[in-house]
Amino acid sequence: MKKLTTFIVILVVVGTLFAAGTKEAKAEGAPITLEWWTWDPTMAEENQQIIANFERENPGVKIANTIVGTAEYWTKIRIQANQNKLPDVFTMSSGYIEEWAKEGLLYNLDSFVERDDTFDLFYQSIFDTNKAISNSDSYYAIPFALVTTVLYYNKDAFDRAGLAYPTDGWGWDDFRSAAKKLTIDKNGDGKIDQWGYWFYGRYAHVEPWIYANGGTLLDRSTMRFSPDKKAMDAMKMLTDLVLVDKVAPAPKDMSAFQQQDVFPQGVAAMWVDGSWFVDTFRKNVQHDMRWGIVRVPSGPSGSNTLTYGWPDSYALAPNTKHPEMAWKFARYVAGEGIGLDTYMAGKIPSAKKLATDPLFSDPNQQPGKDMDLLIEQAAGPMTTSYSMGWGEWRGYGGSEALGLNGTIDAIVNGLMSFDEAFRRSTESINAVLKRYYK
């Protein structure tokens, strides 16, 4: 019994000394571990490289990177938010900034942005796009890349048809005229083998035309779906490409394709989608096809200098214990401390030193100097239709067959007339918006 008592006393004394020592170490060395969540599993190696460099430059700081696949990312990080366990730094989508900022789940970065001369290093226009999307007067996220929408065109198809390549100065008539000449039944079997253009109701296929015609989908004063005449004209022009001009296939005819494969497989000669497909085409198409990018043609009532573009960003947890270090790491990983090789081609770095790197428009890779367009777009005015509930009313991801996406598909697939489809969808879209903006 005596032995046991002695043993317990020794244990307590040693334990107390150990605890005291740990406290001391914390007070002196203050080792910090930052949790960093991202959604792109293909960037695992690049992330480890970034972490190694940052940790070397910042002794005592450890970065723990968790990569969650895009499909589960939002569910998992919402649960983290619910439990007050948001990672110190995490990837944030433009589609959710407004909702998360309103819920108080994003660290307000205004003081950091002002204090650190942030815009000497980063494009202010991209930060301001984020601010506009958040529907507030503050910066809630630090953008690491901007994505825009462009017109992709198949140079080989244009050459075969003896047509001049598209230019930024194109209008709807130039586009329609080229699309007609590029719609070809090669073997005379009565079936079109090469379409002039390809689109369906997808946001990145439709909105660029609306904005390049000066139109809007939402009335921002009431936050209701209220496409103006310019927007309706743009959507009518698009649906007529299938129904009247017959220069684009109906989506129901392309159902066996992944939507992003129609253009690179040569089934359509022109296509509008996100700038990130530059990376996909470089990897998959390589030199099998020559292609270029230009601005989406201007509508008769607008100008294509207004770009449909949005940033991907990093946000800080509002309750992070290390806001200074989290901000430092977020800036680092947003571009200040990394190289162009860690970027997906077609995403425009928000850090000036990366965007102005000559390798961004690498002449040895397609589309060569056309890539300068993306930098021009980043410096110019931008707009989006993001709102709370956007994914639901727009029809995105798992709900792609529904919402506004499903409405446009129903028109071009011949299921509903243009007027009937918009009468119905205006009602259902506003039912969604009313839930968020009462």
Judged by beta carbon, residue 309 or residue 403, the one nearer another protein is 403
Judged by beta carbon, residue 84 or residue 303, the one nearer another protein is 84
Judged by beta carbon, residue 428 or residue 430, the one nearer another protein is 428
Judged by beta carbon, residue 257 or residue 437, the one nearer another protein is 257
Running DSSP on this structure, what letter comes out for residue 332? I
Compute the C-alpha angle 145/399/266, nearest 5°. 65
- Positions in 286-345 near another protein (CB under 8 A): none
Stretch binding another protein (CB under 8 A), from 12-20, 72-80, 226-234, 333-341: 72-80
Stretch binding another protein (CB under 8 A), from 1-9, 115-123, 235-243, 406-414: 406-414
Bridge partners, 311 (sequence order): 146
Measured between its terminal Cα atoms, the distance across the chain in Å is 72
Judged by beta carbon, residue 86 or residue 126, the one nearer another protein is 86
Q: Tell me if 1 contacts another protein by CB under 8 A.
A: no
Q: Pick from 14, 20, 30, 79: which binds another protein (CB under 8 A)? A: 79
Judged by beta carbon, residue 254 or residue 315, the one nearer another protein is 254
Stretch binding another protein (CB under 8 A), from 146-154, 250-258, 272-280, 328-336: 250-258
- Round to whole Å and give the CA distance between 75 and 31: 30
Q: Pick from 392, 404, 418, 422: which binds another protein (CB under 8 A)? A: 392
Stretch binding another protein (CB under 8 A), from 24-32, 36-44, 95-103, 113-121: 95-103
Q: Pick from 2, 115, 186, 191: which binds another protein (CB under 8 A)? A: 191
Stretch binding another protein (CB under 8 A), from 131-139, 174-182, 328-336, 387-395: 387-395
Which H or E run includes 379?
A: helix 372-379
Number of C-beta neighbours around residue 32 at 10 A: 17
Q: What's the length of the chain? A: 438
Q: Which two tokens stand for residue 435?
A: 């839930």
CA dihedral 280, 285, 289, 292 (to 10 degrees): 10
- Round to whole Å and give the CA distance between 327 and 61: 13
Q: Tell me if 370 contacts another protein by CB under 8 A.
A: no
- Round to whole Å and give the CA distance between 161 and 181: 7
Q: Pick from 39, 90, 100, 332: which binds another protein (CB under 8 A)? A: 100
Among the listed residues 87, 99, 92, the one whose alpha carbon sits nearest the alpha carbon of residue 141: 92
Least distance CB 318 / another protein (angstroms): 12
Q: Tell me if 81 contacts another protein by CB under 8 A.
A: yes
Q: Which two tokens stand for residue 73?
A: 């990312």
Beta strands in 260-354 (DSSP E): 270-274, 291-294, 307-316, 348-349
Q: Tell me if 253 contacts another protein by CB under 8 A.
A: yes
Question: Which residues are near another protein by CB under 8 A?
Answer: 74-75, 78-79, 81-82, 99-100, 103, 105, 191, 251-257, 389, 391-392, 396-402, 406, 409-410, 413, 415-416, 428
